[in-house]
């Protein structure tokens, strides 16, 4: 029995050395990368892959597969060396690291690599995404997979990491194991806590986690820690592993100023010799138990809403979520403790098992949604639009992950009134338009909002809907369709001298202005630009050709909002640039009534009328 154990220890050590050597080889070949950050965690990954990970590399979409997230995404050379040892990639492909056209980018990216669930590299995000996966496994699909998240010690200074610690504890995610690679050195010197594993453990325990402190280069201690983690019930587990950055060679072990630096060819040759020489070990990673599990599909279509009097679009958002939940078992909703304002509580009350309260932790909310989406869930996350700015890096990385998530931001613009500027989203359209592949929607009545939520459930990438706090009149019949990329021409004639383009609260102000202008003998066109991205190029270009003057009106700062979305419709070199006037919020608003603020910002009916008359004079 002892001989077998000794043999196993030696095998783990040999595998770990191979992972280190391959991390050096591929980064030296690339001329860049992070070999020393990879070398510190090699022993941890060697034991994990040989004994504890359950993963079918031939079937990465097997729902029973364990999930492995490298939150310290810069340790990608280790991950790719791991894949080589598992037989998933060849040595030739490993040596293509960071080269143009290679699947092995500087930080891991899904889609091009089927074994990667989420993009990492912007530190502090992997654990939040891991909680989303663990929530699905424990509460929704009830599957036996475990989620393993490798964190760097530097990234534990990120508040988002502790948002994830808090959420994982609250939801008792005993199927989640975090591994902190405590290698002491960050990019420019020592980390905040260096090798103070007791302090890491105290913080983790304060959040309700089971904490284990080990020597991260002692494979027997690693083995025992992983075994213990799997026996913990009712709480998540964190393994705090004391390691050396650049471990294994004298040149880099625990040496500063080696972060993100590849070894020269001569240094690499010496290092490989010091580590025992190249190996090509292949590990047969254990596969998970087979399963017949499949995500349930939709069970019909949504009934038409029966709205009569004025309804806030934020309330229609809640109505649509509830209706979607009744026909789509894959729909999951998250909120940041404002469900009674975003109206996501309507879904919560109807489907409590598929609603997850993230409390006031917007980064965690978006991260968990991204993690859930990798497990086949259609997620909707909501909060005040202003507070989504806190989660913007998660949203940006969600796009890099090719994640499919839907977001709703309520309480947008100065029209929210007396709450004041801290609550007023005036940047959100610009923020969301800038996200790669995003869809940005801005309904002006409840019918439109309801139908757009229905569409969002099947949109690819990151989709965002801006909802309005105030109740607004119903503009459309229940059976109206709102194709993404479209718009609605609400008022028009062959005598129109200008076109008013708006969405949300300012569309209703534009309709008031239309009536006043019509009474004065001035004909204008009114367009509901409910799709901000993609924008309705054809309709806008036609309006410019036929009326000559476009006036955009928005409850948003002028940078990046509706005005600039309209201008983009004329960016084609063949398009004729129209006269474009942008009415937008150009003040720092304070507390006042919605009507007072719309007037102060110059975006109410009075100012629209004045702008039309001024520019037609």
Which of 403, 379, 383 has the alpha carbon at shortest distance from 328? 379
Q: Determine the Cα–Cα distance for residues 69 and 176; give it in Å rounded to an integer.
A: 11
Contacts of 348 by beta carbon, 8 Å cutoff, 6+ apart: 333, 335, 339, 355, 357
Q: Determine the Cα–Cα distance for residues 154 and 174; give it in Å rounded to an integer.
A: 24
Contacts of 206 by beta carbon, 8 Å cutoff, 6+ apart: none
CB-CB contact of 461 with 438 (8 Å): yes
Which of 436, 376, 441 has the alpha carbon at shortest distance from 407? 441
Q: Determine the Cα–Cα distance for residues 409 and 390; give it in Å rounded to an integer.
A: 12
CB-CB contact of 67 with 30 (8 Å): no
Backbone angles phi, psi at 437, to 5 degrees: 70, 15
Q: Determine the Cα–Cα distance for residues 375 and 330; give it in Å rounded to an integer.
A: 10
- Three-class DSSP category at 577: coil
Q: Which residues are catalytic?
A: 362
Q: Determine the Cα–Cα distance for residues 428 and 423; give it in Å rounded to an integer.
A: 12
Structure tokens at 43: 């022993």
Residue appearing with tokens 């100023």: 257
Q: Which pairing describes strands 439-441 and 549-553: parallel, antiparallel, or unpaired?
A: unpaired
Q: Determine the Cα–Cα distance for residues 393 and 48; give it in Å rounded to an integer.
A: 30
Which of 374, 402, 371, 457 has the alpha carbon at shortest distance from 63? 374
Residue appearing with tokens 């489907």: 351
Q: How many residues does the chain have?
A: 617
Q: Determine the Cα–Cα distance for residues 189 and 173; give it in Å rounded to an integer.
A: 34
Q: Determine the Cα–Cα distance for residues 356 and 369; give it in Å rounded to an integer.
A: 10
Q: Determine the Cα–Cα distance for residues 68 and 292; give it in Å rounded to an integer.
A: 22
CB-CB contact of 76 with 33 (8 Å): yes
Q: Determine the Cα–Cα distance for residues 566 and 318; give it in Å rounded to an integer.
A: 29
CB-CB contact of 388 with 105 (8 Å): no
Q: How far is CA 189 from CA 167, 186, 192, 193, 217, in A?
A: 31, 5, 10, 12, 21
Give the E-state strand segments of 270-395 in sequence order.
331-335, 355-357, 378-384
What are the DSSP calls for 240-303, one per residue? EEE--TTTTSTTTTT-SS-TT-PPPHHHHHHHHHHTT--------PBPPPP---------S-PP
Cis before residue 13, ω within 30 degrees of 0?
Answer: no
- Three-class DSSP category at 2: helix
């Amino acid at each position: 029995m002892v001989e077998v154990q000794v043999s196993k220890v030696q095998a783990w050590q040999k595998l770990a050395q191979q992972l280190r050597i391959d991390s050096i080889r591929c980064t030296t070949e690339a001329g860049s990368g992070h070999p020393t950050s990879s070398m510190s965690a090699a022993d941890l990954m060697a034991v994990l892959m040989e004994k504890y990970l359950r993963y079918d590399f031939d079937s990465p979409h097997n729902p029973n597969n364990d999930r492995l997230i490298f939150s310290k995404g810069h340790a990608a050379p280790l991950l790719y060396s791991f894949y080589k040892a598992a037989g998933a990639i060849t040595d030739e492909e490993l040596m293509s690291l960071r080269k143009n056209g290679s699947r092995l980018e500087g930080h891991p990216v899904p889609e091009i690599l089927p074994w990667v669930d989420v993009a990492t590299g912007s530190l502090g995000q992997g654990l939040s995404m891991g909680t989303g996966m663990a929530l699905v496994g424990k509460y929704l699909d009830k599957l036996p997979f475990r989620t393993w998240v490798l964190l760097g010690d530097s990234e534990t200074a990120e508040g988002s990491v502790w948002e994830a610690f808090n959420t994982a504890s609250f939801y008792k995610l005993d199927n989640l194991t975090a591994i902190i690679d405590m290698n002491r050195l960050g990019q420019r010197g020592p980390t905040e806590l260096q090798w103070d594993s007791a302090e890491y453990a105290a913080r983790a325990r304060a959040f309700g986690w089971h904490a284990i402190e080990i020597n991260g280069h002692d494979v027997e201690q690693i083995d025992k820690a992983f075994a213990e983690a799997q026996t913990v019930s009712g709480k998540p587990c964190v393994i705090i592993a004391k390691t050396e950055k650049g471990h294994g060679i004298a040149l880099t072990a625990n040496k500063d100023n080696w972060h993100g630096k590849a070894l020269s060819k001569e240094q690499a040759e010496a290092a490989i010799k010091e580590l025992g020489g190249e190996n090509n070990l292949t590990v047969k990673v254990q596969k998970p138990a087979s399963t017949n599990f499949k995500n349930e599909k939709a069970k019909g279509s949504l009934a038409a809403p029966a709205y009569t009097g004025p309804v806030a679009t934020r309330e229609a958002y809640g109505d649509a979520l509830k209706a979607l939940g009744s026909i789509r078992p894959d729909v999951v909703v998250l909120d940041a403790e404002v469900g009674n304002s975003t109206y996501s509580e309507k879904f919560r009350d109807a489907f409590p098992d598929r609603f997850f309260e993230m409390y006031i932790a917007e980064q965690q909310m978006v991260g968990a949604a991204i993690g859930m989406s990798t497990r086949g869930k259609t997620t909707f996350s909501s909060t005040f639009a202003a507070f989504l700015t806190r989660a913007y890096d998660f949203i940006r990385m969600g796009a890099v992950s090719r994640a499919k998530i839907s977001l709703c931001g309520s309480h947008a613009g100065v029209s929210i009134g007396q709450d004041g500027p801290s609550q007023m989203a005036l940047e959100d359209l610009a923020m969301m338009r800038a996200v790669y592949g995003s869809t940005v929607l801005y309904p002006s009545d409840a019918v439109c909002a309801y139908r757009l939520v229905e569409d969002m459930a099947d949109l690819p990438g990151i989709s965002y809907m801006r909802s309005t706090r105030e109740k607004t009149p119903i503009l459309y019949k229940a059976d109206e369709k709102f194709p993404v990329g479209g718009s609605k021409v609400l008022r028009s004639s062959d005598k129109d001298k200008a076109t008013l383009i708006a969405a949300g609260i300012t569309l209703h102000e534009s309709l008031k202005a239309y009536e006043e202008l019509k009474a004065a003998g001035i004909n204008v066109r009114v367009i509901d630009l409910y799709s901000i991205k993609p924008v309705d190029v054809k309709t806008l270009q036609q309006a410019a050709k036929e009326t000559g003057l476009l006036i955009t009106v928005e409850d948003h700062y002028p940078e990046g909002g509706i005005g600039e979305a309209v201008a983009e419709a004329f960016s084609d070199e063949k398009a004729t640039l129209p006269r474009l006037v942008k009415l937008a919020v150009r003040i720092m608003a304070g507390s006042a009534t919605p009507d007072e603020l719309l007037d102060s910002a110059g975006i109410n009916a009075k100012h629209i009328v004045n702008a039309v008359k001024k520019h037609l004079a």
